[in-house]
């Protein structure tokens, strides 16, 4: 492996690290949404009516309907979080291999 190839792999490692950081930020955003959804669902327990925010207004709504909507949103958020985790794992594996290659090359020099 040439030093140019090693340099390219180091740049790839840096790019992968940036991608992992971006994924973590996005995942944290969805985890915060999950906390909000769980809190809202907890508040809806045992209630027959609640208020739904639509745009800039609050509308009286059936709590069951609102709860169903929140459950659906929660499922979608869970899927997104799992996808971020899968992407994160794949990037970390790729980075681990690149790092191993770079270290091996540096030891050979």
Q: 84 vs 28, 54, 62, 92, CA distance in Å? A: 10, 29, 33, 12
Domain total in the chain: 1
Contact predicate 40/51, CB 8 Å: no
Inside any domain, residue 73: yes
Inside any domain, residue 46: yes
Inside any domain, residue 34: yes
Nearest Cα to 75, choosing from 106, 30, 14, 25?
Answer: 30
- Each residue of 31-85: pLDDT tens digit? 999 999 999 999 999 999 899 888 999 999 999 999 999 999 999 999 999 999 9
Q: What is the CATH number of the domain that holds 82?
A: 1.10.287.370
pTM (predicted TM-score):
0.81
Range of the domain at 26: 3-104
Inside any domain, residue 57: yes
């Amino acid at each position: 492996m040439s030093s140019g190839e090693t340099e390219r792999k180091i740049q790839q490692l840096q790019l992968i690290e940036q991608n992992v950081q971006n994924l973590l930020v996005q995942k944290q955003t969805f985890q915060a949404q999950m906390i909000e959804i769980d809190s809202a669902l907890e508040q809806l327990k045992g209630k027959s009516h609640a208020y739904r925010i639509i745009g800039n207004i609050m509308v009286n709504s059936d709590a069951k309907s609102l709860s169903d909507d929140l459950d659906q949103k929660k499922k979608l958020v869970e899927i997104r979080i799992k996808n971020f985790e899968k992407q994160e794992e794949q990037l970390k594996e790729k980075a681990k291999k690149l790092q191993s290659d770079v270290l091996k090359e540096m030891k050979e020099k």
